[in-house]
Amino acid sequence: MTPFSIILIGIIIFVLIAFFRTIRVVPQKVAIIIERLGKYNKTLEAGFQILIPFIDKVAYKHTLKEQAIDVPPQVCITKDNISVEVDGILYMQCVDPMKASYGINNYQFASTQLAQTTMRSVIGKLSLDKTFEERDTINSVIVEAVDKASDPWGVKVTRYEVKNITPPQSIKDAMEKQMRAEREKRAVIAESEGD
């Protein structure tokens, strides 16, 4: 190989790299944050986009679809001092990609943490019986608190669902005994009315 052909191959490779760094196809329901020389420049929406090679950089990529985030189990203490393990699912959507990129480091983690602390607070105000009855109230209070806090992050919380409320085994056993006693009582009443 001659020095000229090596230089020519180098130039062709450089041009190809520059060409592929220039063209960007953004899928539907995705937003890409572009920084120019380290500073926010623009948000790319769905479609064919052209960038300035080596100057424009893809800094962040966000999905604009609703996301379901699993909130890990959390031990909460009810008003009547009973520990219950509660977990749920948080549904949220990125509505402002720029705020989601620069407003907080990780909005999903922050929202999950806030949902957990709010859940502990709400369940701490309810008795064990009420925690099973008031799921809708728990859900709405968590949605309101997390949505309010996540507004500066460019995120909209759409809903929260409590998946499981698990009391300790001793409480489960006591609840089963109580239900068994109530069934036996109804059976005795039904039998006595039948005679």
Q: What domains does the chain contain, in order, with CATH numbers?
A: 3-63 (no CATH), 66-174 (3.30.479.30)
Mean pLDDT of the chain: 88
Q: What's the pLDDT tens digit per position in 53-83? A: 888 999 999 999 999 999 999 999 989 888 8
> Which residue type sits at 186?
R
Give the predicted TM-score (pTM) of the model: 0.76
More confident residue, 117 or 23: 117
Please work out, in degrees rounded to the nearest 5, the angle formed at the alpha carbon of residue 145 by the alpha carbons of 127 and 73.
55
CA 119 – CA 142 distance, rounded (Å): 7
What is the SS3 assignment for 88-122?
A: EEEEEEECCHHHHHHCCCCHHHHHHHHHHHHHHHH
Longest dimension (CA), the chain: 111
